[in-house]
Amino acid sequence: MIPSQLQRNVVRTDTPAVYAHYIVTTNSLYPLALVCDEKDRLIGVIGSGEINPIKNDLIYQNCGEICNSNFCFLENGSEASIYSKARNIFAEKQLITLPIIDENKMPVRLFGKWQAFFRESYKDLPYFFYAHGLLSAAKYAKKQGYNRISTIEFGVAGGRGLIHMELYAREISRLANIEIDVYGFDSGKGLYSPRDYRDCPQEWIEGDFKMNINGLQSQLYKAKLVIGDICESTKTFLDRFNPAPIAFISVDVDHYTPTTAILDMLLQDHKYYVPVVTMYFDDVLDTMEFQGETLAIKEFNARNETIKISPEHTRFDEIWMHSESSINDWKNIHLSAMKWCSRFEHPLYTTKRTSNEIL
């Protein structure tokens, strides 16, 4: 008996191929049709490679005629075994989904590429918004022709976020086949005293979020710490380190003043950035529209014509769309803090499409 959660992906050999096309094109997480015989044994699969309308006239074919009978699969077993084998297969082959079958060739599960590298959906991971933002940024950069990019966390504090950013960078590097360098900016001494109302004195005091520099450094793999006043280190970083183009930035500095310095760094030469930089702002709040990171973004957009951060306002009471007890409250309020810095005059900003056909 095929598990009910798989039945939507199952087709028979005599099923019209257009139905398999529907399954594959509408299921973004598991875009795979499982072709089974009359005894529910898995005999082939249909993915995007088999349903290319240019190669196959699907209207006049059935699933048995176009399925791939030499498909890759995983044998059912322990989670550790499945995870290990899947990682190796996905690293070597251009696949998105693998079926898991039992000893009778009955499909029992589907295992996705993202699961193989993140074990589960990245939305269930600590700092999942780093995984989400960095994965999106890496895929975009690869599409633009980059083979190496940089990611930065501004406001490292204890380092838990940077440790996870580096972990995700290593996984995504394999996933997207792109090198990712990781940098972390921090004063090392915690927050400084707020200069005026814009630095949110109602929220922060001097010395919050101090760092154990040596302790954190020992937990990092290759990530580089940039220690010092962020208002000063952002002025020299690009010349000093000559980083690979920056694709993802996390801003968690709480204050208005260092946020303005970080955003001013975005005005430097296009060679240091991909055309659209994915950004995460931890402390953009509608309740502090005229303070902190929110105010810095608003002023940045007002000052600059060809480099803009969008959406300028976030969170938009999105939290109220979910029940108070739901974990989705926390997830959505953090995902709504994702923004994109578009560099409209970047040499690679325009599309690379070579025909009038929009795919």
Q: What CATH number corresponds to the domain at position 31?
A: 3.10.580.10
Helix (H) or strand (E) holding 134: helix 128-143
Whether residue 245 sits in one domain with residue 107: no
The reported pLDDT for the residue numbered 331 is 47
pLDDT, the chain, mean: 85
Which residues make beta-bridge pairs with 111? Answer: 98
Six-digit token pair at 314? 């976030």
pLDDT confidence bin for 87, thresholds 50/70/90 = confident
Tell me the residue range of the domain where 24 lies: 4-117
Provide the domain count of the chain: 2
The reported pLDDT for the residue numbered 354 is 59
pLDDT at 251 > cutoff 90: yes
CATH number at residue 279: 3.40.50.150
Q: Which residue has the higher pLDDT, 79 or 251?
A: 251
Contact of 203 with 255, CB cutoff 8 Å: no
Whether residue 173 sits in one domain with residue 93: no
Whether residue 140 sits in one domain with residue 109: no
The reported pLDDT for the residue numbered 280 is 93
Give residue for tokens 């296009």.
270
The reported pLDDT for the residue numbered 122 is 66
Query: Does residue 352 fall inside a structural domain?
Result: no
Q: Which residue has the higher pLDDT, 323 or 11?
A: 11
Query: Does residue 207 fall inside a structural domain?
Result: yes
Query: Does residue 357 fall inside a structural domain?
Result: no
Whether residue 59 sits in one domain with residue 167: no
Residue-wise burial string across 229-248, b where 16 or more C-beta atoms lie within 10 A, e elsewhere: bbbebbeebbeeeebbbbbb
Query: Does residue 339 fall inside a structural domain?
Result: yes
Whether residue 278 sits in one domain with residue 176: yes
The reported pLDDT for the residue numbered 334 is 54
Question: What is the per-residue pLDDT across 122-180, written as a single tens digit (0 to 9) for each?
Answer: 666 788 889 889 999 999 999 999 999 999 999 998 888 999 999 899 989 987 889 99
Query: Does residue 351 fall inside a structural domain?
Result: no
The reported pLDDT for the residue numbered 279 is 95
The reported pLDDT for the residue numbered 359 is 41
Whether residue 62 sits in one domain with residue 151: no
Q: What is the pTM of this model?
A: 0.69
Whether residue 308 sits in one domain with residue 169: yes
The reported pLDDT for the residue numbered 327 is 45
pLDDT confidence bin for 355, thresholds 50/70/90 = low
- DSSP letters for 32-79: -EEEE-TT--EEEEE-TTT--TTT--GGG-BHHHH-BTT---EE---H
Six-digit token pair at 73? 């699969």
pLDDT at 333 > cutoff 80: no
Question: What is the per-residue pLDDT across 260-318, written as a single tens digit (0 to 9) for each?
Answer: 999 999 999 999 999 999 999 987 877 778 888 899 999 999 999 999 999 877 654 44
The reported pLDDT for the residue numbered 56 is 65
CA 26 to chain centre: 21
Whether residue 68 sits in one domain with residue 19: yes
The reported pLDDT for the residue numbered 134 is 94
Whether residue 326 sits in one domain with residue 209: yes
Question: What is the per-residue pLDDT across 31-66, written as a single tens digit (0 to 9) for each?
Answer: 999 999 999 999 999 998 888 766 667 888 899 999
Whether residue 315 sits in one domain with residue 288: yes
Q: Average pLDDT, stretch 201-205?
A: 78
Q: Which residue has the higher pLDDT, 222 or 115?
A: 222
